[in-house]
Amino acid sequence: MLSVLLLLAAWWAVAAWAGDPRTMPSPWEVTERIAGLAASGELWLHAGATLLRVLASFAIAMALGTALGLWMGRARAADRWLNPVLVIGLNMPALVVIVLAYIWIGLNEVAAVTAVALNKIPVTAVMLREGSRALRPDLDDMARVFRMGAWSRLRHVVLPQLAPHVAAAARAGLSLIWKIVLVVEFLGRSNGVGFKIHLLFSSFDVAGVLAWALAFVAVMLAIDLLVLRPWEAGANRWRRDEA
Amino acid sequence: MRLELTGKSFAGRPVLGPLHLTVERGQRMAVLGPSGIGKSTLLRILAGLDRDFGGRLESREKVAVVFQEPVLLPWQRAVANITLPTGCTEAEARRLMAEVGLAGQEDKFPRQLSLGQQRRLSLARAFAARPDILLMDEPFASLDRETAGRMMDLTARLLDRSGAGLVLITHDAAEASGLGAELFRLAGSPAALVRDERAG
């Protein structure tokens, strides 16, 4: 909290020193812009469009990245074959993937979501692969001896062990994904926070750019506090001592 | 259950030599031997957990294992540690927990139970699977004498009632006698299974 206040104070000081609200608006001016956008309804419309893209890409990237990471962590042959593809995926610039997706699939929602998901899948896969390598073999033996079904084994034996890795991948993933979604919108969508920033960039409206960016950071912060943290607390309940 | 083993090696080093082993419902046998001789390897082969061996395992019987460590799901409450792996009903799980002296502990997580309680939970889980043959790997190790004695009585009672066969891996002949098991010994290199004559 103190660090946020210090950051605000520094911002205020720099804005006052610059003395030019067009290049460096004060926090107060940006807050006023956010309030105006919220009151007009524009904020909810565009932030909503961005949020939907973030959620769709996030769900696809987490599901496919987890499955891929689990497979590579458990099967040495899969790891050997897929590792080069994963390294290429990790090092491919996001911009290249986005441009190619727009060219090959078209300037549409499918291309936008696919491009973002493709950027995130390798990161999730690497994190989950490391987690899968650390799965407890004794629990595997137990599940095999008692002939637990594949789904039951995944749900009750494997995924709970991976929960900390899934949580880390989810947190890192959300912050990465929303930044890529903005680029996707900047380049080829007609709504969303990225699209609005594109418009404001052409008129050099710094207060507007900061207003949209900070408003969406607040949305992501809310998701972290209201969704991710409670889920993590629930998943880690068994670690706590109870009477 | 019938095992015709021609040999088992680890990285080219033979551990178990040729051996024949047959066990059926109602029959109890104990395999003794010093640490590292291959007792647990033999149990893993019988349980179907290690298929990389020379020979043949024929087993139509339902098998359950009590591992050396309790091997419980730490994120599941005690009662779910029985119902989830075995598929038995919650009522059956609660009944078995009461039988092993864990009534009232159903909603606790494993780490909230003592080691003795965790082992009894693991025993209840094995019987919940309604096995024809129960495989036990040093199940009384690292328990104090009194707790080990209680758990042995409990195991004998559950075996009597269910009629399940038993293969007990242990280094303590007294444990085997306590459960009325026929004594066998793993000896030599690679190890072979011989009937323990001293125990008669």
What CATH number has the domain bearing residue B11? Answer: 3.40.50.300
Q: Are strands B133-137 and B165-169 parallel, antiparallel or unpaired?
A: parallel
Question: The domain containing residue B171 runs over which residues?
Answer: 1-62+131-200
- Chain A residue with CA closest to B67: the answer is A142
Contacts of A149 (CB under 8 A, 6+ apart): none
Q: Which of B110, B129, B148 is the last residue of a domain?
A: B129
Query: Do B48 and B137 belong together in one domain?
Result: yes
Count of pairs with CB atoms under 8 A, one residue in A, one in B? 50
Of A139, A141, A152, the CB nearest to B49: A141
Asked whether residue B171 is assigned to any structural domain, the reply reads yes
Instruction: Please check the confidence at residue A236 and state whether its pLDDT lies above 50.
Output: yes
Asked whether residue B50 is assigned to any structural domain, the reply reads yes
Instruction: Please check the confidence at residue A115 and state whether its pLDDT lies above 70.
Output: yes
Query: Do B84 and B45 belong together in one domain?
Result: no
Asked whether residue B146 is assigned to any structural domain, the reply reads yes
Shortest distance, CA A146 to any CA of chain B (angstroms): 6
Is the sign of the CA dihedral B122, B124, B128, B134 positive or negative? positive
How far, in Å, CA of B85 to CA of B83, rounded? 6
CA distances from B148 to A28, B54, B67, B111, B145 (A): 72, 36, 15, 20, 5
Query: Do B180 and B167 belong together in one domain?
Result: yes
Query: Do B25 and B83 belong together in one domain?
Result: no
Instruction: Please check the confidence at residue A139 and state whether its pLDDT lies above 80.
Output: yes
> Inter-chain contact B73–A156, Cβ cutoff 8 Å?
yes
At A171 the pLDDT is 86
Query: Do B125 and B152 belong together in one domain?
Result: no
Query: Do B142 and B195 belong together in one domain?
Result: yes
Written as tens digits, the pLDDT of chain B (200 aa) is 999 989 888 888 888 989 899 999 999 999 998 888 888 899 999 999 999 999 999 988 899 999 989 999 999 999 999 999 999 999 999 999 998 889 999 999 999 999 889 999 999 999 999 999 999 998 888 778 888 888 888 899 989 999 999 999 998 888 888 888 999 998 888 887 878 766 54
Q: What is chain A's mean pLDDT, rounded? A: 90
Query: Do B95 and B148 belong together in one domain?
Result: no
Cβ–Cβ < 8 Å for B116, B154: no
Query: Do B199 and B135 belong together in one domain?
Result: yes
Query: Do B100 and B190 belong together in one domain?
Result: no
CATH architecture of A30-235: Orthogonal Bundle (1.10)
* Structural domain total, chain B: 2
Is-cis flag, bond preceding A27, omega within 30?
A: no
Query: Do B28 and B119 belong together in one domain?
Result: no
B interface with A, Cβ–Cβ < 8 A, is 44, 47-49, 63-65, 67, 69, 71, 73-76, 84-86, 108-109, 111-112, 125, 129
Say what the pTM is.
0.80
Asked whether residue B68 is assigned to any structural domain, the reply reads no
CA distances from A83 to A67, A75, A78, A87, B28 (A): 14, 12, 8, 6, 50
Query: Do B108 and B144 belong together in one domain?
Result: no
Of B49, B69, B112, the CB nearest to A145: B49
Asked whether residue B69 is assigned to any structural domain, the reply reads no
Residues in chain A: 243
Domain boundaries, chain A: 30-235
Q: Is B145 left (phi over 0), alpha (psi -120 to 50) or beta?
A: alpha
- Chain B residue with CA closest to A144: the answer is B49
